[in-house]
Amino acid sequence: MKFDKPTVKGKILKRYKRFLADIELEDGEVVVAHSANTGSMTTCWEPGWPVLLTKNDDPKRKLKYTLELTHNGKTWIGVNTALPNKMVLEAIKDGTIKELQGYDVIKPEAKIGKSRIDVLLTKNSGEECYVEVKNTTLWQNDVGIFPDAVTERGQKHLRELTELANSGIRACMLYVLNREDVKSFAPADQIDSEYGKLLREAHKAGVEILPYVCEVNEQGLKLTHSLPFNL
């Protein structure tokens, strides 16, 4: 998935109010960028790290710049949480996610009960597969871990997927590992022990765990291959 807006480089000075980041551009100008990632972004930024922004000159926009990538000296890290679902849809369509092939209809944001699941795949025979997508950027000893903060919403999604699996419907948790310095995936039990417990229960019930790593560069982001996981 290529960036569809012009990009500019800079360095991050600070991040605040969840949605905002002060960025010093290469020419010395300091701008305020929108951060779509409202999480802790732990291991994803420090003052002075290089960043990549997209610029949108739409006069209706309050902030022209959006924070897309940060760089830790080893790898670019995708921090725009609006992009993983788009990457997943692209990767299903182009065959990258081999486990999710053979379906006739791809429907994003499918309703299930009082919630929405990120992707519903359906075969003409009526067979369904529900896929929940989680952007994963927290790093620990070459392992991508999720979540980076306690997530009641994420716990709810796991319970819903477990119910689907228990009723015989295919259900998958797809973790988008949005950085290239990871070799595997694991739940962040030290941050949200309940999430880790529910993930293990979900897997035992038949929910498939699909960690996929991204190639992240200044041109864009793309899912490339699966990684092992450790529960």
Predicted local distance difference test score (pLDDT) of residue 38: 83
In this structure, which amino acid lies at residue 88?
A: V
Predicted local distance difference test score (pLDDT) of residue 190: 97
The answer to whether the beta carbons of residues 128 and 165 sit under 8 Å apart is: no
- Domains of the chain, each with CATH number or no CATH: 7-78 (2.40.50.580), 84-226 (3.40.1350.60)
This prediction has a pTM of 0.95
Return the higher-pLDDT residue of 121 and 37.
121
User: Which residue's entry shows tokens 């979900």?
Assistant: 202
In this structure, which amino acid lies at residue 218?
A: E
Nearest to 1 by CA among 226, 225, 231, 215: 215
pLDDT at residue 113 above 90? no
15-26 confidence digits (pLDDT tens)? 999 899 999 999
Chain-centre distance for alpha carbon 159: 20
87-96 confidence digits (pLDDT tens)? 999 999 999 9
pLDDT at residue 6 above 90? yes
Q: Where are the alpha helices (DSSP H) in 61-192?
A: 84-93, 152-166
Rounded CA-CA distance 39/109 in Å is: 21
189-205 confidence digits (pLDDT tens)? 999 999 999 999 999 99
What sign for the dihedral angle of Cα 96, 100, 102, 105? negative
Q: How many CA atoms lie within 13 A of 158 on its CB side?
A: 23
- Who's near 28: CB < 8 A, 6+ residues apart? none
Strands 7-16 and 50-55, bridge-based pairing: antiparallel
